[in-house]
Amino acid sequence: MKTLKTLLVIACVISIFSCSSDDDNRNIEAPETGGGIIGNELKGDITEDSKLLASVAYTITGSVTVKEGATLTIEPGTIIRARSGRTDVFLAVERGAKIIAKGTAVDPIIFTSDASSPKAGDWGGIVIAGKAPSNKGTDVQSEVAGLLYGGTVTDDDSGELSYVIAEYTGAKINGEQEFNGISFFGVGNKTIVNNIVVSDGNDDGVEFFGGTVNVTNVFCANIGDDMFDWTEGYSGTITNAFGVRNEGFNAASNDPRGLEGDSNDSDATALPISMPTLNNVTILNLNPDVKLKAGAEIRRGTVATINNILFAAYGSAAFEDRIDTKDDKGNGTVTLTKAFAQGTVGQDKVGGEINGDVTVITDGITVPSNNTVEAKAGVGADLTAFEWANQSFVVTKQ
């Protein structure tokens, strides 16, 4: 069941597109060698500045890669459907390329499945690579999409994602390779990322592999594994993050979590250390059939600062642990300012350091009806920031 309702946008199927760098929207033919955009089909390499139009109903039918030096611009209101049931359907942006996906609250940009009955894992997701540092090196190959990433440019610019929805992502290639909703590999802090939603994903919602990119207003609903994940020396700031698992969404890994923070899984002392800052976060479980392994697992050398977080399990839903800093590959350190817990969210598992206290409350989150959730002002994320996505919630077994 889809539990994050998006704004309905009716798109006409019009076989026009633009690949001009001056945004004149002329109707021109795609290069015979393949420019990644052929009518309303997206597949292959985009090697020159190109634009997707809201008036065209696009379908991704294979891997799409924006090559170094090219920029892909996507108009507000564009809906892009991905061919379902395959692991080679995704959108990738190479190091040195850009994506400008700048939607609006009224006309978001939507990436979704083309299936008549869509489900988590129908297609890959969005993969962006940059030149910002990773503690794995300066020419690392991404887990999926085969992109090189990493470098020394902390202020690298990969473009913009604003008011973007990605749903039914997380295609699994094998036991070691699985797409996230949106993956940031070495993405720098000149990249603009705000007001993004990942919904009904089979693996992680949003994951950062090194890099310095900052993210504001990020909502992960119904995620099979970790809602928010980082590793390899990520040092950006995440502000106003809301993760929720609805009742009825039972796709789950063996250890789904709200936050999973690693620095380096083979050397916890590798530089740069993951040192993110998170401001205003809510991790909410509404599903009594799936227990979250942890609200936050901070490990493998990570040093995280979290200001104003709420761990909440509503009714008979639960977490196994609240905060876990213990790991056999290296413990973690977390500093808390204004941390709250509501419901059955377990206790803290200390191996590393937890600096700061968690206050138990009863009113951080309330569910006045089956399709709304209300948050107490000043506790965790500001949910009003996501009203543009028309989110809904399922609570029946409480």
Lowest average pLDDT, out of 23-37, 80-94, 106-120, 161-175, goes to: 23-37
Consecutive H or E run containing 197: strand 192-201
Rg of the Cα trace of the chain?
Answer: 20
Question: Is 4 in contact with 200 (CB distance < 8 Å)?
Answer: yes
pLDDT in the model for residue 176: 66
Q: What is the pLDDT of residues 92-117, one digit of tens each?
A: 999 999 999 999 999 999 999 999 99
pLDDT for residue 398 is more than 90 = no
DSSP 8-state class, residue 385? G
Residue type, position 39, single letter: G
Segment 163-181 shows an average pLDDT of 88
Distances (CA, A) of 292 to 65, 78, 110: 34, 34, 28
What distance in Å separates the CA atoms of residue 318 and residue 368, rounded to the nearest whole number?
Answer: 19
pLDDT confidence band for 78 (50 / 70 / 90)? very high
What distance in Å separates the CA atoms of residue 43 and residue 24, rounded to the nearest whole number?
Answer: 23
Name residue, tokens 């799409």: 64
Lowest average pLDDT, out of 2-16, 52-66, 377-391, goes to: 2-16
Segment 23-52 shows an average pLDDT of 69
Question: Is 41 in contact with 57 (CB distance < 8 Å)?
Answer: no
pLDDT confidence band for 395 (50 / 70 / 90)? confident
Segment 362-389 shows an average pLDDT of 95
Q: Which residues of 136-155 are buried (b: 16+ CB within 10 A; e: fewer)?
A: bbeebebbbbebbbbbebbe
User: CB 174: neighbour CB atoms within 10 A?
Assistant: 7
pLDDT in the model for residue 391: 84
Residue 247: is it exposed, middle or buried by C-beta count within 10 angstroms (0-12/13-18/19+)? buried
Q: Indicate if the alpha-carbon torsion angle 200, 203, 204, 210 is positive or negative.
A: negative
What distance in Å separates the CA atoms of residue 339 and residue 306, rounded to the nearest whole number?
Answer: 8
pLDDT confidence band for 5 (50 / 70 / 90)? very low
What distance in Å separates the CA atoms of residue 386 and residue 22, rounded to the nearest whole number?
Answer: 33
pLDDT in the model for residue 7: 32
What distance in Å separates the CA atoms of residue 195 and residue 179, rounded to the nearest whole number?
Answer: 21
Q: What is the pLDDT of residues 322-371, one digit of tens each?
A: 999 999 999 999 999 999 999 999 999 999 999 999 999 999 999 998 88
pLDDT for residue 135 is more than 60 = yes
Consecutive H or E run containing 365: strand 365-369
**Longest CA–CA separation in the chain, Å:** 63
* Residues 6+ away with beta carbon under 8 Å from 377: none
Q: What is the pLDDT of residues 282-297, one digit of tens each?
A: 999 999 999 999 999 9
pLDDT for residue 26 is more than 50 = no
Query: What ranges do the domains of the chain cover?
Result: 17-213, 252-398
**Closest of 59, 122, 133, 115 to residue 86, by C-alpha:** 122
DSSP 8-state class, residue 5? P
